[in-house]
């Protein structure tokens, strides 16, 4: 079994190229503005209701 020594260089590989076209500039919405000071809000899409919640750790959770 061979191991790399701390001074041995590691081969660098180029990052893979994406074949997908670049995304257009997307709208950016500040969640604080969207929530208007609330920690929970309901969103609807195609007559389905979703709950968007800000956790104590300042993470977003979207549930159906």
Q: Is the pTM of this model over 0.85?
A: no
CATH for 31-63, among 3.40.50.740, 3.40.50.720, 2.10.70.10, 3.40.1160.10? Answer: 2.10.70.10
8 A C-beta contact, residue 50 and residue 63: yes
Question: What are 21-64's pLDDT values in tens digits?
Answer: 777 898 999 999 999 999 999 999 999 999 999 999 999 999 99
What pLDDT, on the 0 to 100 scale, is given for residue 10? 61
The number of residues in the chain equals: 64
- What is the Cα–Cα distance from 15 to 26, expressed in whole angstroms? 24
Q: Is residue 1 scored above 60 in pLDDT? A: no
- For the chain, the structural domain boundaries read 31-63
């Amino acid at each position: 079994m061979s191991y790399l020594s701390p001074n041995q260089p590691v081969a660098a590989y180029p990052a893979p190229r994406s074949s997908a076209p670049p995304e257009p500039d997307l709208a950016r919405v500040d969640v604080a503005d969207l929530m208007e000071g609330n920690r929970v809000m309901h969103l609807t899409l195609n007559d389905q209701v979703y709950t968007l919640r800000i956790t104590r750790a300042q993470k977003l959770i979207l549930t159906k």
